[in-house]
Structure 1
């Protein structure tokens, strides 16, 4: 066995998931960095290979193309940074989710990624990846609405996606367009306004 193979095995034993997990993490990190700095249209396999230290053919073989890289990187990052709250009440879940989104948008990488996706040209592949990303996020957090319906906090015919869009959109508008701080009081007032629209009642 060569020295390099021995080193690779030792590295795999030290890291959960081994070399494959490390390679994936390096590639996704490089993808996020490139996406934040250059936008989706500036993301190339050669640049990802340079930043990650992983050969371009290996990246191509595993992900197929830049649009799949973007989707995987954004979904993985959002799952890490934006876990779905489960507090036991709709209002508290909404406030907790809004806090997580605000914190995400307040980081240099989070803000850069949001800007990059918003400003990207609408080529068909990127449009599909962006739509898949947002649909996956909606599917992940719609459990907040499902639980609220089960607890009779919301009507059974509540539009899940509309409810979540009405929460997320003001956060992005404030952070990315008018560049104003997202304060705790603002979050709670926004959630209470949304809940009055969804239920016809004030905060419980």
Structure 2
């Protein structure tokens, strides 16, 4: 049985939630949709009070309103029941939860390297062994993510690509581009992982933490 394909209207609203703040082009790229069609849908959503466009310094884009968040969750809940994918998503979330704990510990270790003088000292990445231990943890998580991603995308097509994106970011880290571990506003390991977590909990109607 092929995976369930989400309607474009849901994908646009959900894409804004996952990206946090994004322009029409970024929302369109997230699910390979037509940019002009996405822009028109966002204007329609703005008229209904579901999204708003704003700018801060050099960042501008669409974000969800509280009404839009509630509407998105309503649509996700309907899709979950209509697609029959609830059991798959719940089981995958259960398998993801312990991995999430390990990932958060790894990111903390990437950003903080305690010293005898400061337990919260910033990691200056001068300790090769410390960083390699973190990267080995991330590599192990990438392997564990593959079957979870396959299960999810086999049920709901919109979940496709997470494990591939995570592995692609890790490959860039291995080539020496260390910012691809946790830098914001790029498809870093942290960005992909955070987005997947948000996708899972929003689909199931859960809250972080």
Q: Higher strand fraction: Structure 1 or Structure 2?
A: 2
The two structures have a TM-score, normalised by structure 2, of 0.28
Say which one has the larger Rg.
1
